Chains A and B, each alone.
Chain A
């Protein structure tokens, strides 16, 4: 075995130029592919994180009918949760939320608004709501925090009074006057044009729904570990009129757009790999062509074809490994850098991203899976292409080879 490796290693370095060309073309594609996948996975993580923090949580506990019919009557008493022990190392935190709709008026203007009753203090840690504050005070007992777009439409400013009208729990009328204590700016237009945040108790009072919440949103250590935790929580919730849903169930559009993008990325990579594959194949072709005589000699003096194949296979493996290693070594520092310093977009690109509700950044994911994916892909391609040299050796005729 040592002999094979020695031979293979020296043969790899025999035509340095070709080795470098092949290895660097592999390295380049691995490098490019890793960077691309890192930014893809990074944006997915970011999108999932944003959506989970702002809307659904990684897991959401609701009254069983709530998701189908998101009305105030389908809320549940948070007391039910206090009785349960939801602590688990996989669970980072959870927050209660109550949501409803109402008409918001100021002067002669009226707009529809989405009301979110939250624990402001916990929300600051869960959805970083406090970071959206652009004016006024975040902490309020009786006031409301308004989305900037809505505030502008209603001609409201910090200190002004807002009238809310709607329907409360079990059809009671809900009406109240609240002072605007802060303005929030959201990148997502839907939120920015219609969201009003209130302290949970304030909203419960407005809706005549004391202690009621629509959802209890949970943030997990690992956004992908939803199924296991869902099952775990389901056993805890047994016997209650409560259900638990994963973000994948609650955000099917996000799941499908991520999948679409992910497979779209693979299509680009496959095209890249096909191009690189031709290059690798060319190298294999040369490797065999140039050395027919030499391989013939080896076979003649007593090296079985199986052994010749092993030698060439190790050579191929070393060459590919060199390329993959080089690519990973090149990509790692760059991914590391962008992982801790996401690219901030500006101008049109930023506006476009914001329009779709995303932060205008390109975050990178630091995930071993990326390197693994690319490494395995290249190896599979190489393995496939290596069929040719292996067959060529198998079919080699010594007499012919020695005449080369």
Chain B
């Protein structure tokens, strides 16, 4: 099943002044269960592409369908609710709400979704367990290492049972040990639970773990290969 379908997608920044064509005519689809890396040199458009897939930014041309639903015409608040229900996000760093504990951060999304307390409790316990951060559950982000913070972020992204998880350079701020550990967990979730991950990176070790590699140069796909 297709979870993402992009057709002739383009993004032009500053169309009225000095136009920058950050994404140029990208057509692409992602199937459920993929573990896909979007790679390319700095400034090639990785973040821009992920933002449009995630409904954080709107395209200038072309269309974005998520699970068969077009998000192009959605209003801002519709998009926000759509993101809440269907997409998990992991950002490069400082993902978490500083004043909430790890567990509360994970449950945050579910509270926004109006889940009942028991479901939240079970889900967050389960995720904390699987992310290997059970002992850190009551710590605030400032008391966690960068790697632990990113795991909480992944757990939070998964808490809502999204169609897929978007991660923009999730390991950029991590040392190699933490990077390995985070990727191990993500790969395991992908393998065992068919969770779809799309992440951007320019770290070769991360690229090596991907099952599909989409290479961007100057906003265009130059290669798209399985590994």
Residues of A within 8 A of B (CB): 3, 7, 10-11, 14, 293-294, 297-307, 398-399, 402
Closest 4 CB pairs of A and B: A302-B84, A10-B99, A304-B80, A302-B83
User: Are B56 and A398 within 8 A (Cβ)?
Assistant: yes
Q: Does B189 interact with chain A (Cβ within 8 Å)?
A: no
User: Are A304 and B77 within 8 A (Cβ)?
Assistant: yes
Given the complex of chains A and B, what is the CA–CA distance between A306 and B98 in angstroms?
A: 20
User: Are A297 and B94 within 8 A (Cβ)?
Assistant: yes
Given the complex of chains A and B, what is the CA–CA distance between A307 and B160 in angstroms?
A: 18
Give the shortest distance, in Å, between A392 (CB) and chain B (any CB).
Answer: 15
Give the shortest distance, in Å, between A51 (CB) and chain B (any CB).
Answer: 58
On chain B, the residues within 8 Å of A14 by CB distance are 98-99
| Cβ contacts A to B, 16 pairs, < 8 Å | A7-B99, A7-B100, A10-B99, A14-B99, A293-B94, A294-B94, A300-B56, A300-B83, A301-B84, A301-B89, A301-B108, A301-B109, A301-B157, A302-B160, A305-B76, A398-B57
Give the shortest distance, in Å, between B75 (CB) and chain A (any CB).
Answer: 11
Q: Does B72 interact with chain A (Cβ within 8 Å)?
A: no
On chain B, the residues within 8 Å of A402 by CB distance are 56, 91
Given the complex of chains A and B, what is the CA–CA distance between A3 and B109 in angstroms?
A: 11
CB-CB contacts below 8 Å: B73-104 with A: 76-77, 80-81, 83-85, 89, 91, 94-95, 97-100
The number of residue pairs between A and B whose CB atoms lie closer than 8 Å in the complex comes to 59
Q: Does B121 interact with chain A (Cβ within 8 Å)?
A: no
On chain B, the residues within 8 Å of A399 by CB distance are 51, 56-57
On chain A, the residues within 8 Å of B51 by CB distance are 399
Q: Does B112 interact with chain A (Cβ within 8 Å)?
A: yes
Known contacts A303-B80, A303-B112, A399-B56; A7/B85 CB under 8 A = no
Given the complex of chains A and B, what is the CA–CA distance between A7 and B98 in angstroms?
A: 10
Given the complex of chains A and B, what is the CA–CA distance between A294 and B100 in angstroms?
A: 12
On chain A, the residues within 8 Å of B112 by CB distance are 302-303, 307
User: Are A301 and B99 within 8 A (Cβ)?
Assistant: no
Q: What sequence of 0s and 1s flags, for each residue 103-116 of chain B, a beta carbon within 8 Å of any chain A beta carbon?
A: 00000110111000
Give the shortest distance, in Å, between A157 (CB) and chain B (any CB).
Answer: 81
Q: Does B123 interact with chain A (Cβ within 8 Å)?
A: no
Give the shortest distance, in Å, between A351 (CB) and chain B (any CB).
Answer: 60
Given the complex of chains A and B, what is the CA–CA distance between A71 and B80 in angstroms?
A: 82
Mostly, the A contact residues are helix
Given the complex of chains A and B, what is the CA–CA distance between A294 and B111 in angstroms?
A: 18
Given the complex of chains A and B, what is the CA–CA distance between A294 and B142 in angstroms?
A: 14
On chain A, the residues within 8 Å of B95 by CB distance are 297
User: Are B97 and A7 within 8 A (Cβ)?
Assistant: yes
User: Are B77 and A305 within 8 A (Cβ)?
Assistant: yes
Sample of 17 further A-B pairs with CB below 8 A, known A297-B91, A300-B56: A7-B97, A10-B99, A10-B100, A14-B98, A14-B99, A293-B94, A294-B94, A301-B83, A301-B157, A302-B83, A302-B112, A303-B84, A306-B77, A398-B56, A399-B51, A399-B57, A402-B56
Q: Does B163 interact with chain A (Cβ within 8 Å)?
A: no
Q: Does B151 interact with chain A (Cβ within 8 Å)?
A: no
Given the complex of chains A and B, what is the CA–CA distance between A402 and B89 in angstroms?
A: 12
On chain B, the residues within 8 Å of A303 by CB distance are 80, 84, 112
Give the shortest distance, in Å, between A4 (CB) and chain B (any CB).
Answer: 9
Given the complex of chains A and B, what is the CA–CA distance between A42 and B125 in angstroms?
A: 61
Give the shortest distance, in Å, between B44 (CB) and chain A (any CB).
Answer: 17
Given the complex of chains A and B, what is the CA–CA distance between A307 and B157 in angstroms?
A: 19
Our pick among B77, B98, B156 for the contact of A301 (Cβ within 8 Å) is: B156
On chain A, the residues within 8 Å of B91 by CB distance are 297, 300, 402
Give the shortest distance, in Å, between A319 (CB) and chain B (any CB).
Answer: 15
User: Are B111 and A3 within 8 A (Cβ)?
Assistant: yes
User: Are B81 and A302 within 8 A (Cβ)?
Assistant: yes
User: Are A300 and B89 within 8 A (Cβ)?
Assistant: yes
Closest to B108 in A: A3
Given the complex of chains A and B, what is the CA–CA distance between A304 and B74 in angstroms?
A: 14
Give the shortest distance, in Å, between B82 (CB) and chain A (any CB).
Answer: 8
User: Are B100 and A304 within 8 A (Cβ)?
Assistant: no
On chain B, the residues within 8 Å of A301 by CB distance are 83-84, 89, 108-109, 156-157
On chain A, the residues within 8 Å of B99 by CB distance are 7, 10-11, 14
Closest to A301 in B: B89
On chain B, the residues within 8 Å of A297 by CB distance are 91, 94-95, 97
Give the shortest distance, in Å, between B83 (CB) and chain A (any CB).
Answer: 5
Our pick among A7, A293, A302, A304 for the contact of B109 (Cβ within 8 Å) is: A302
On chain A, the residues within 8 Å of B156 by CB distance are 301
On chain B, the residues within 8 Å of A294 by CB distance are 94, 97-98
Known contacts A294-B97, A399-B51; A304/B81 CB under 8 A = yes
Give the shortest distance, in Å, between B28 (CB) and chain A (any CB).
Answer: 20
Give the shortest distance, in Å, between B209 (CB) and chain A (any CB).
Answer: 24
Give the shortest distance, in Å, between B78 (CB) and chain A (any CB).
Answer: 9
Closest to A400 in B: B57
